[in-house]
Amino acid sequence: MAHPDLHIDDTDDLQLFIDRLNASDKPEHAAIASEIEVLQSIYGDNSIRLWSPPGGDANNGGHLRGISPDSPNDDGDTPSLRILVSLPSTYPTSSPPQLQLLSKYIGPFGADSALFGAILRTFISVNGVEWSPDTVCVFDGLQNVIERCTKWYEDRLSVERAGELVRADEKAGGGVAKEADGGGGGVARTRGEGGVDATTPPTSGLPAGIQLHVADPITDRKSVFVGRACQISSPSEIPLILSHLMSDRRIARAAHPIINAWRCQVGAVLHQDNDDDGETAAGGRLAHLLQTLEVNNVLVIVTRYFGGIHLGPDRFKHINQAARNALELGGFLDTSPEGAKKRGRKH
């Protein structure tokens, strides 16, 4: 970091620089020093260090290079983010900082130009961080970058997992057969004996007498939707069944593992509930489906593996269709002999 009267050279360490800021007669320098100390307390003393551009004029602006450890991967470890924070001489009086992603990779994935550009626009984009003159804001900017990179990373994990599951299904079934989904416009169903949700045995068992009916997956633009349905006799069975599913790592790793709705008649009282599981309004749509079909004593669950491409309203069509397929497979719907062809498997 540098201002016209504060020069950075390669011999400076961060504490010396903070001391020089505090010794300055400019109030904005003290504010920056305090901000750096706060960042150290949050991210760790060794996560922030000074940087000046090689061969550049440090008096044209100051820079802090920070390593933020706050973007977790699916194993609980933390792929590091290297972020360059450039502080102009007019910060924070009349200019915001500029943030730049220095990491070429986040975990195993190569960062793309869209992510780099979004981070550069952190303080000038409507989707970024609002900045006001005379306000320090590096922490807010870093948190925005961490959240943006975490979302980017998790989306790519979902794409990779969906691809692995589909490839596992192809291998188990000896190939993939596709059929047009009525009105689906290019939607394909992946077929195979193993199925997209073939798993290692879950660690949490199902309640006695519960049998899950699992429909064939629906695949659209790399997103995969798997419907499951089972008969229930008591609302108390719901958390046990959902826990059983979440104990399966392949299900738990989906973007939305257990979107669900259920209806259960106990005596004269009809109990019902639903859960979006992060897919806004999806649970309510499943509840409406059960109500429309007049299906009671049934739990229906849809697992969605996000493929990296936003589907818009189509995602609700696939969620409902996956649920309906599972209900049909379990024999919960009144169907004609011609419409009673069941797809999927039981477990």
Supply the CATH number for residue 63's domain. 3.10.110
Domain that holds residue 130: 10-152
Q: Is the dihedral of CA 213, 219, 222, 225 positive or negative?
A: negative
* Chosen domain end from 152, 176, 191: 152
For strands 109-110 and 105-106, give the pairing.
antiparallel
- Identify whether 34 is part of a domain: yes
Structure tokens at 220: 């659209």
Clarify whether residues 124 and 239 are in a common domain.
no
pTM above 0.75, yes or no: no
Residue 291 clears pLDDT 50, i.e. is over it: yes
Q: Considering its fold, how many domains does the chain have in total?
A: 2
- Identify whether 145 is part of a domain: yes
Alpha carbons within 13 A on the beta-carbon side of 255: 26
24-63 per-position pLDDT tens digit: 888 888 898 898 888 888 877 778 878 765 554 444 445 5
Residue 228 clears pLDDT 60, i.e. is over it: yes
Clarify whether residues 257 and 148 are in a common domain.
no
- Identify whether 30 is part of a domain: yes
Clarify whether residues 97 and 228 are in a common domain.
no
Opening angle at CA 205, ends 202 and 210, nearest 5: 120
- Identify whether 166 is part of a domain: no
- Identify whether 178 is part of a domain: no
Supply the CATH number for residue 303's domain. 3.30.230.30
240-252 per-position pLDDT tens digit: 898 889 888 888 8
